[in-house]
Amino acid sequence: MAGKPARPTNAIDQTRRMLSLVTYLRERPGARVGDVARAFGITEDELISDLDVLPLCGTSFRGGDLLDIDTDGDRIWWHNPDDVAEPLRIAADEATALLVAARAVSTLPGLREGDRQALLRATAKVEAASGEAAGASARLSVTFESEGGVFADVDRAIAERRRLWIRYYSPARDELSEREIDPIRLVTVGHTYVEAWCRRSEARRTFRLDRVAEIRILDEPSAPPEIELRDLSEGLVQPAAEDPEVVVEVGPAGRWVAEYYPHDSAVELPDGGLRITLRTPDPTSLRRLALRLGGDGRIVAPQDLADSARRAAREALAAYDTPETGGHAAAQDGSYERREQRL
């Protein structure tokens, strides 16, 4: 029966499975979906997901000779196995691109040694078959940015079910924090993220890989609680069209808001700031954003939310106006007054 996967699958494991799936289906025309799923130890939903990808694969990088595989929900049919089984004749530019990519991937930190050796063996075979193209590829190289190493470590930790320690930058708080996380899966929605169980907050969190300043794979096993995986195909945060609209203006130091919050539009302002329009089911939650921005931003609309943010700012300022902190508040009075006006 279709159902949730027993555990998340990383990209390398899925690629291995799909390569094996091609051979399996070639030898079993009209195979039943349930039988194939059981043979590979996956759910029918996972198998259907693989079958949605296979028709995008083939023997040509230019889009021809794709696998003509489909299913009626009960059986799987491969209509052109003989066509794609012909000996592959790889073009010089294709061989060059493949060899450069393979060599680059083999240098990724965190790649399992068995996978690295298998990749190097495959690269040697392609080199032998490519002739002069192999010589051309040797003069090219690719260097991955630091995110590549983070990706490799996360992918390895998921495969080996191990916990991660990370130092993570949060632009909302402009600070680095240290966390131990149990990685669940890698997702790409514009940027690449790891969805994980955060041991510090004891909750599910999503971390953007290019904001991971440092990462270590720990010896402790990864043991996230059983949680339902969310559909992230439409984005990490998915405001509804009927959600109330909020307009926020930020200065240059507050431009991170457009990167951090899903929004409908972000219009450049003359001072280098942005006028951001976004939707949220709970507009009052943005009062906290306004307080955090201080002099770097303000809520423009709706008016009642803007007024509410100003009241919250006044209440926060009033908390400083006590006998214990009166001197401090008086010393900073000009700064706080400007911040309240900005809000």
pLDDT in tens, 316-337: 777 665 555 444 443 333 333 3
- Return the top range by mean pLDDT from 101-105, 247-251, 286-290, 309-313: 247-251
Which range has the worst mean pLDDT, 158-172, 207-221, 278-292?
278-292
251-259 average pLDDT score = 82
> Longest Cα pair distance anywhere in the chain, in angstroms?
87
Angle value at C-alpha 118, between 112 and 120, nearest 5 degrees: 100
The sign one gets for the Cα dihedral 289, 294, 297, 300 is positive
Which of 249, 253, 293, 286 is CA-nearest to residue 268? 249
Residue 180: the pLDDT is 95
Model confidence, pTM = 0.39
Tell me, what's the pLDDT at 218?
A: 95
DSSP conformational letter for 252 = G
Give the pLDDT confidence score for residue 219 in this predicted structure.
93
Question: Can you give the pLDDT at residue 335?
Answer: 39
Q: What is the mean pLDDT of residues 270-292?
A: 78
